[in-house]
Structure 1
């Protein structure tokens, strides 16, 4: 009997550790990655010829980033590595991919999805103006292009990534005008028992906030975004927000980085027919997995931030677990004690994840307050008022029905940046619980393909 055909999607922390674990067990996996080089988003590599040191590029995560990059360098020649390759569909136990305009399909016995996460965004009036970026996009500009998104930048949202990106910009010498956090300090205090599950990470986060204060960055907690002020011709000019006291503040800037935690990239899991469940703590639909990362679909495994946002080290741990799950299902048992140690670590990380959701709350209530003229779907230009109209006049109380009638989520991003906020608007306007709104169904291709794409036989 030949080796099992194991295909991994994603060369971030989860995918790299997954490949490393399989290789150590004597299996040569295929690793498909959309990126130009390994590392994923969190450990995105700078282009060849750029010489910024790890400490400047990755801050407190420099040692982990370097270790992951070096680990992959050691195994790269021993695996079937396919960079710059988009996995765009899963069907009939085949992973459909495209590279350089050529499409093909990979048969698999086991498919391990490690696609990572993207920014979770809540619209604000004026966020369509040039100069408004997601936190992830702000990171890409810094890491891949060695430039700031603006001369005077404001970061707004909530969650650890908000402070990490702001700190990385300060480290790079950019002018950070302010960090605006929608969460309140008291929520962090209440979440402390869970956050203490990972004291080392908590300490790093506290150090990031302290470093920003030392750098003279203005810090605001418990704010409510009001408007990004700007013009279509000149872009962002300033941001207006409401303090906890009710007073309105305005800060001049020419760029804004926004983000409210991350949302798992679940489209491939959906296309693979994996079951989902509603997670009340984070108010989103997530794929169902067991402790090792097995999905409801036989032969499909999920790991990393593409299924639960646990951070880079949590993703590494999950990647190893998913690899072991695939090995066990292929009749290869790991060494005694290995799995239990990994599962204990994952439970600890999951407790910390719950603490983060409690400390940095997704601002669901903002959706109901958005003015009707606020653009919700930037791809299609759909406003909050138009979305409310199809709910009120046409009875669209389910996400896919609202999409069909309003085109919200039909654009290039396929709802990645508007689906969560749109669901909150629907729930508020229809006066129904969020889980009754449902979720947008995954559609192939998960990202646009060129019309000139040529199909080949693998």
Structure 2
């Protein structure tokens, strides 16, 4: 198994209950994933301080994982950097191992979906997820006066977490509108408890008197190469320009599934018109197009932590069924029914907090799209117009977009939007960047590798 977030923990739990001893590979130092990331040993902040309304769920997940520790082989701080038929390649420090498997459950989670804005390369610009990691793992804010900008539930969650931690949030700047939320209300009522939590986050910001501006258009992150971020400039719904002074900004537009490992495993992909993203094919139980490979949680489809727990367990039950271990049909039916509610809710979130694709076409030519390789929107437009590069991988070859440290995780979506707008073709026609090993940078000096036989 890959991942020890909500999906991974529940999948491991189901396998242990069936009498198996799975191997759980986790890139993090401790279990919990991103949303329930544990604080380092020695830190004493309470669950309520760290996780707010999700404190009980975080506590339960951590407790259940602790109970599993003696019944699984837990491999933390380990990167899965390649997958081949029947085996994964991992790195722990400088130690390389090839681990074989009979079945593989990938619970790779999600990362921020980002839209560039002029000036986002200045020091002090973070993703919303990065700002959250700093708070949970290091116990610090990303700045003394922070602006949160983008759209989606994570925008308000991180802002509320910063407020509760005592940090100064100068403003929350949201590209979505009140009308978007009203259109989504019926679908959001599919999970009223989660909707109520979202409304409570707004209450936290209101009581802290944090300015919240909706229907904004990002214009620039103000700053210099010497001093970093100094402010954010946006256009308001009434057309007026608003400058918000700050020394750090966190941006994000909902989430994108982390699909590179599914790609390396050979899974087929399809373009999801509603999400405007390429996702790996999987049936409702998590079976991918590759025999013995299962996908669960936000790494397969972003539906939130509650859904990820159920999807992780369902994928494990599918693996057990395929191995003729036990009869889990009744429980699987129940999990599918529960997940259908979260699927409707996720559709509501897409309506309430739409991905602002229109912003890509309006980016000035000198705006950096790929921060790793300093590739600008103008350069992408040039390779479209002068070299006929209307496909993502061809544009990558000519411009180096997506060739840097992040391997396209943070620039691929926006880059594809820029290409599609300039070429005047549907986003689907641009395709997707092919996953390549290693998915993340590796040390130049590698220790001799060893093979490790595993059962899961």
Query: Are residue 44 (structure 1) and residue 43 (structure 2) matched?
Result: no
Q: Find the counterpart in structure 1 of residue 315 from structure 2.
A: 322
Q: Deviations over 1:415-447 (max 9, x none)?
A: 000000000000000000000000000000111
Determine if contact 2:321/2:328 at 8 Å carries over to the other structure.
Answer: no
Bigger relative contact order, structure 1 or 2 (CA pairs below 8 A, ≥6 apart): 2
TM-score (norm 2): 0.98
Could you say what secondary structure the match of 2:242 adopts?
Answer: strand
Q: Find the counterpart in structure 1 of residue 265 from structure 2.
A: 272
Could you say what secondary structure the match of 1:147 adopts?
Answer: coil
1:437-456 to 2 correspondence within 5 Å? 437-456=430-449
Give structure 2 stretches of 5+ with no counterpart. 452-456
CA 1:209–1:184: 2 relative to 1, 3 Å? same
Could you say what secondary structure the match of 1:9 adopts?
Answer: coil
**Range 104-113 or range 427-436, more displaced:** 104-113
Q: Deviations over 1:14-54 (max 9, x none)?
A: 00000000000001100000100100111111111111101
Q: Find the counterpart in structure 1 of residue 191 from structure 2.
A: 198
Q: Find the counterpart in structure 1 of residue 22 from structure 2.
A: 29
1:412-427 to 2 correspondence within 5 Å? 412-427=405-420
Query: Are residue 351 (structure 1) and residue 335 (structure 2) matched?
Result: no
Q: Deviations over 1:68-121 (max 9, x none)?
A: 000000001110110011111111211111112111111111000001111110
The CA deviation at 1:453 is 1.5
Q: Find the counterpart in structure 1 of residue 56 from structure 2.
A: 63
1:128-147 to 2 correspondence within 5 Å? 128-147=121-140
TM-score (norm 1): 0.98
Determine if contact 2:317/2:328 at 8 Å carries over to the other structure.
Answer: no
Q: Deviations over 1:159-198 (max 9, x none)?
A: 0000000000000000001000001110111111111100
Give structure 1 stretches of 5+ with no counterpart. 1-7
Q: Find the counterpart in structure 1 of residue 426 from structure 2.
A: 433
Q: Deviations over 1:203-241 (max 9, x none)?
A: 100110122011100001110000000000000001000
Q: How many residues align?
A: 451
Query: Are residue 210 (structure 1) and residue 223 (structure 2) matched?
Result: no
Q: Deviations over 1:284-336 (max 9, x none)?
A: 10111101000011000000011111111111000000000100000123345
> Residue 166 of structure 2 is aligned with which of 173, 192, 205?
173
> Residue 332 of structure 1 is aligned with which of 295, 317, 325?
325
1:201-280 to 2 correspondence within 5 Å? 201-280=194-273
The CA deviation at 1:245 is 1.3
Could you say what secondary structure the match of 2:450 adopts?
Answer: coil
Q: Find the counterpart in structure 2 of residue 5 from structure 1.
A: none
Determine the C-alpha separation between the residues in 2 that align with 1:334 and 1:106: 28
The CA deviation at 1:353 is 0.7
Could you say what secondary structure the match of 1:456 adopts?
Answer: strand
Q: Find the counterpart in structure 2 of residue 150 from structure 1.
A: 143
Query: Are residue 164 (structure 1) and residue 157 (structure 2) matched?
Result: yes
